[in-house]
Chain A
Amino acid sequence: MKQTTKLLSSLLVSALVASSAFAEIRTWTDTSGRQVTASFIGLDGEDIILKTADGATHKFALTRLSPEDQALAKSMKPSEEPVMLANATVAQASAAVDRLVANGLVRANPARLKMNPPKAPIKSFNPMANDEQFVRRVYLDIVGRIPNYSETMQFVQDTNPNKRAKLIDMLLDSPGYNSNTYNYFAEMLRVKDRLEQDNLRGVPYINWMQHQIEKNVTWDKMVFEMLTAKGKMWQDGAAGYLLRDAGMPLDNLANTLAVFLGTDVACAQCHDHPFSDWTQHQFYEMASFFGATTTRMTAAANRKKGKDSSGMMAMNAMQDLMPKIEEIVTKSGGDIKRLRNGIRNYMGANNAIVGDMDTNSMKLPHDYKYPDAKPNDPVEPQFITWSKNDKNLPAYKQKMKSAEELRPAFAKWVTDPTNPRFAMAIANRMWKRAFGQGISEPVTNIDDPKQSVNPELLIHLAQEMVRVKFDIKAFMRIIYNTRAYQSEATSEKIAMGEPYYFQGPLLRRMSAEQAWDSYMTLVLGDPDKYAKPLEDLYSRSIDLDLSNPKLDAQTVLVKYDAFRKMAEKERALMGGGLAEAGGDDMMMDSGKAKGKGKAEAKPAGDMMENASLTYNGMVLRRAATLEQPAPNGHFLIDFGQSPRALIDGSVKTGSVPQVLMMMNGKAQQMLTSPDSLIFRTMEKVKSPPEKVEALFVSVLNRRPTLAEKDIAKRALSGGDDGYANMIWALINTREFIFVQ
């Protein structure tokens, strides 16, 4: 092990000097004729180190190889890639990343000189961020909120030299990590509470995803589940991934490739891709993996003509029962016009199911116009490749003889460590989370990694992702411990589209969720103490077995009634509609319990356990536990939360409504009201200067400068509103909404 460490550092030094080169993969033979395909990393004393396609490194005695290969190894140049042993420490791993970033910085300078006007050469990383900057950033990045007063002070006063790594570890294992990570994936995957079609809600999918993150299920497993789930969403939450785009399988596929593989083929959906190599035919070959998948029970029935399938039953149930239901409702004096859609939607939601069919029905579109095939031709499934040798990778060896093997084969190919893009796509995204920009942009289209600003870094991070076995938390731990990340934010201007080399993180505006959760911190201290009230009343009440031949109209009505009652209860627990601009109500007569006009925080949903605190109708909880996305007019939406239509669809720019909200909105009133937590924190200290310091530490997580103390003194001399004015002023600074 010691020797390897030495080897590692010597390799890294050589990497600093040499330009980029990638190890060649070849077949090695040992003395007994066994063969392995691997790239040559280097020699270490009497040993040889090889790396196999799955990213694992293997070290063994050189003498075990055939004499020819031994000779060859001795003549070969060692690889310039850093070598990470499977059990490398976080410090080693972070150091290896830093070296590659540093190499990139040096290489950037000729290009910077050629810019107009020329930019000064980068000598090294930005200066180390100070403790105050660091504690604020790392809280925002890991747990999605600013630290509160005592959290800030505790860190700043800690004298342990290892305190940064300690804090990172603590935060990664706290509940805030889960909600913050969920926010990221929910935005990336366009997770919604209310799905466009029927009355289907994404609640079970949302809960599933949050549980996966809580359990730190590895990324490859999560994706595999999403791509292969079967049944209704409340039977398997992961089914929500395909049901999110029910009826749009081609869109879903385009998004799948963009998100999980960083490969944008959306154009090829309708025509050959104009720039890359993808053809429309290839797109349909990929789509063919989903050609035996359906998202509707009745659609399955339509395709399997003449068969007594459960889908057929479901269709009959919808058709047969509705007239009887209408009859019962009318007879009992109900208004069927008001109820009809609700009942249909309720039944329709039970038609939403990820199911498999017997045969692959994928065909080319009727307007296919290229000479290699005819319109409406059936298409055989085939994996796309990014380079010539990809086909030999283990990821491509998938069994797909029968229709039911198609989707699992696709999922295995996507999530295999040797898939040329899977690890790279998520690694590049996670890097962007920490630094504000991907190594390859856009993150949905990596295209050629060698064209990225730092190819060695990108490839290395992909290998690291494989090495940590797609454990996102472990991967982020490495990144947060790098010197590059712990640098001050870059203050030089970076134009749109200008390459960036990661001398430190970019200055980033808080996401909508970070801003909201930070407000919650200012009000509640620790927002994670206020969890979601109840687990998924929706899943418990929505289920109806349409394929049961004994299902009758009366049963549907009874169950529908129970479903509506649950929905009302849930509404009450959520504290009622979140914003005045409520949008469309999906239920006909909702039990809207708006906590209106009361200035003090009070529990919503009287008599119910775990009900949430509200202020003027706003439910005071983490963004991750509110409706996804928030309704129009909510703080989160005005702040740019993604409407969850586009991948990564949030907006980080200002707007007039947003600024109005920051200056005059309810959330601002809440913070400046005398019973807010900031005031209570200030009350713990006596003298005005101490109070000012408490205020600065609470809002900006730093102590005031001398000049600021003077300004504060002046502001406080003007009367009783002094402290409220100061809170207002600090919340409205650019310093507050930007993450340094």
Chain B
Amino acid sequence: MKSAFNKLNPIARRDFMMRTAQAALGVTVMPSLNLAAAGTTGAGTPGFGKAKNVIFLWMGGGMTHIDTWDPKDGPTKGPTDPIKVNAGSGNMDRLGGTMEKMAKVANKFSIIRSMSSKTGVHDQGTYVMKTGYEPRGTIVHPCIGAWASHFLGRIKGPTLPDSVVVNSGNAFPGAGFFPTTMSPIPISNPESGLQNIKPTTSDEQFKKRLSLTDEFDTSFRKKFQSDDVKSYSEFYDETVKLMKSEDLKAFDLSKEPEALRAKYGRNNFGQGALLARRLVQAGVRFVEVQSGGWDMHNTIETALGTTAATMDNVFATLIEDLISNGLFESTMIVMGSEFGRTPDINENDGRDHYPLAYSTVFAGGGVKGGFVYGSTDKEGRRVADKQCTPQDFQATIGHAMGLPVDEVVMSPSNRPFTVGDKGVPVTDIFA
């Protein structure tokens, strides 16, 4: 037993110890145990930690900053006029004309208007915004949900995932170099929830089939003890536990009142956000809800139409819904995108990719209301003040969740990594 245990890589070993502790004590292991076993260089500084849960709204395609969160006058203004906001005592002046509902709840969120990244390519931009690292061929970096599982432990173990990604067929980059069990569960369609969750036979027969699989598979698993094979076996174990779990009803949107479902909007993004609230309520720590349609190279006026209105409505409804369920103080909503869009309108009346200046938004979980951090110049071309990188962005989320962002964790290949690649959390946005 002992020798097999020592053969595990540090992370698997840590995972194993955590599970044992969970089983024995019924609690999540102390961070100190994590550190010792993960082979880190020492304890980091725990973060702010008020955001027990995070809902990450992902605006795929590159959300135009000028038409939404960072409105401008003059030549780069775009098709809509900026509108006034209800910012309370905060310094937020106004929003893009498409953000009508968000303007009314401006006292509930903060904007970072000084985001700046290095890449204008969708894939790389998405990757760096979701992991804090530039993509490399030799390693896959974890998403923030997996980092949280690493530092804070699993919430409930197999019966409820720590992280979920909604509106996506896969969870890439998922757990990165952490064990794949820390990978978010992808939900392709919020309406259908977790597909295939019910066995097609009686429980008894299902059990019989499972044990038959184990018997037939023994020699193969003995011969090939690679991580790939092992993690598959773990997935089977966890999935079987999940199938029996009470927590499953968190995935079932039909339990929500019709009126609320309509208010969120009967589209994948709206229903996905509602599902996120249900999951957070059930205890899921990190939910990413994906939405698309922001790659507006052509006729931005038309393109903005439904995409911006949908986003505006979903975001505002989610804030309201979290408040009315008493979850807003402990749940942080984050909105991000791979980059912004060019201040200049192109020859096709659209805007192209623009990583040099864009915005991200934070709400709840201890975030200030009506607050703007950083700024861009008059036409939205350059960051004028307090530049914030994707690394800082990741570190900010990690900090809000209480993760030690300065703590170095060694990957199985013995390379050092931190939450947000040494980014500095933007602590100004927290009250």
* Chain A residues, CB < 8 A from B2: none
**Closest 10 A/B residue pairs (Cβ):** A442-B137, A632-B188, A729-B212, A581-B189, A497-B413, A637-B169, A735-B220, A654-B235, A733-B217, A660-B196
* Chain B residues, CB < 8 A from A663: 196, 199, 206, 239
The residue that B236 contacts in the complex, of A196, A659, A738, with Cβ under 8 A, is A659
Pair B185/A655 contact, Cβ less than 8 Å: yes
Instruction: List CB contacts (< 8 Å) of B155-171 with chain A.
Output: 161, 168-171
Task: Check if A555 is an interface residue, CB within 8 A of chain B.
Answer: no
Instruction: List CB contacts (< 8 Å) of A701-735 with chain B.
Output: 705, 708, 711, 715, 718, 721, 725-726, 728-730, 732-735
Q: Mostly helix, strand, loop or mixed at chain A's interface? A: loop
Pair A247/B348 contact, Cβ less than 8 Å: yes
Pair A659/B188 contact, Cβ less than 8 Å: no
* Chain A residues, CB < 8 A from B183: 653, 655
Pair B170/A637 contact, Cβ less than 8 Å: yes
Task: Check if A216 is an interface residue, CB within 8 A of chain B.
Answer: no
The residue that B120 contacts in the complex, of A250, A298, A643, with Cβ under 8 A, is A250
The residue that A657 contacts in the complex, of B194, B212, B233, with Cβ under 8 A, is B194
* Chain A residues, CB < 8 A from B238: 656
How far is it, in angstroms, between the C-alpha of A269 and the C-alpha of B123 when the chains are bound? 13
How far is it, in angstroms, between the C-alpha of A299 and the C-alpha of B297 when the chains are bound? 12
Which of B51-59, B349-357, B361-369 participates in binding chain A?
Answer: B349-357
Task: Check if B198 is an interface residue, CB within 8 A of chain A.
Answer: yes
Whole-angstrom distance from the CB of A243 to the nearest CB of chain B? 13
When each residue 226-268 of chain B gets 1 if its CB lies under 8 Å from chain A and 0 otherwise, what string results?
1111011101101100110000000000000000000000000
The residue that A655 contacts in the complex, of B186, B205, B356, with Cβ under 8 A, is B186
Pair B233/A266 contact, Cβ less than 8 Å: no
A660-B196, A733-B213 known, 4 other contacts, Cβ within 8 Å: A491-B223, A491-B226, A708-B215, A735-B216
Instruction: List CB contacts (< 8 Å) of A261-310 with chain B.
Output: 264, 266-267, 269-271, 296, 298-299, 302-303
When each residue 493-520 of chain A gets 1 if its CB lies under 8 Å from chain B and 0 otherwise, what string results?
1111110000000010100000000000
Given A251-B122, A442-B138, A653-B180, A633:B169 Cβ within 8 A: yes
Given A640-B170, A653-B231, A663-B196, A441:B208 Cβ within 8 A: no
Pair B121/A661 contact, Cβ less than 8 Å: no
Pair A638/B169 contact, Cβ less than 8 Å: yes
Task: Check if B139 is an interface residue, CB within 8 A of chain A.
Answer: yes
Pair A733/B216 contact, Cβ less than 8 Å: yes
Task: Check if B411 is an interface residue, CB within 8 A of chain A.
Answer: yes
* Chain B residues, CB < 8 A from A296: 348
* Chain B residues, CB < 8 A from A730: 213, 216
Given A665-B196, A669-B200, A302:B212 Cβ within 8 A: no
Q: Which bracket fits the contact residues of A?
A: 35 or more
Closest to A633 in B: B188
Whole-angstrom distance from the CB of A346 to the nearest CB of chain B? 15
Q: Mostly helix, strand, loop or mixed at chain B's interface? A: loop
Pair B196/A661 contact, Cβ less than 8 Å: yes
* Chain A residues, CB < 8 A from B20: none
How far is it, in angstroms, between the C-alpha of A133 and the C-alpha of B356 when the chains are bound? 53
Given A270-B119, A664-B196, A664-B197, A656:B208 Cβ within 8 A: no
Closest to B158 in A: A656
Pair B298/A269 contact, Cβ less than 8 Å: no
The residue that A507 contacts in the complex, of B205, B226, B350, with Cβ under 8 A, is B226
Whole-angstrom distance from the CB of B271 to the nearest CB of chain A? 12
How far is it, in angstroms, between the C-alpha of A718 and the C-alpha of B209 when the chains are bound? 12
Given A637-B188, A659-B239, A735-B217, A496:B411 Cβ within 8 A: yes
Whole-angstrom distance from the CB of B41 to the nearest CB of chain A? 17
Closest to A653 in B: B180
* Chain B residues, CB < 8 A from A726: 212
23 contacts between A and B (CB under 8 A): A248-B297, A254-B121, A267-B118, A270-B355, A271-B118, A298-B348, A303-B347, A442-B137, A496-B177, A496-B413, A507-B226, A507-B229, A509-B228, A581-B191, A637-B188, A651-B174, A652-B228, A654-B235, A705-B219, A721-B201, A730-B216, A734-B224, A737-B232
* Chain B residues, CB < 8 A from A443: 137
How far is it, in angstroms, between the C-alpha of A444 and the C-alpha of B225 when the chains are bound? 29
Instruction: List CB contacts (< 8 Å) of B385-431 with chain A.
Output: 411-413, 415
Pair A197/B353 contact, Cβ less than 8 Å: no
How far is it, in angstroms, between the C-alpha of A735 and the C-alpha of B213 when the chains are bound? 10
Closest to B173 in A: A651
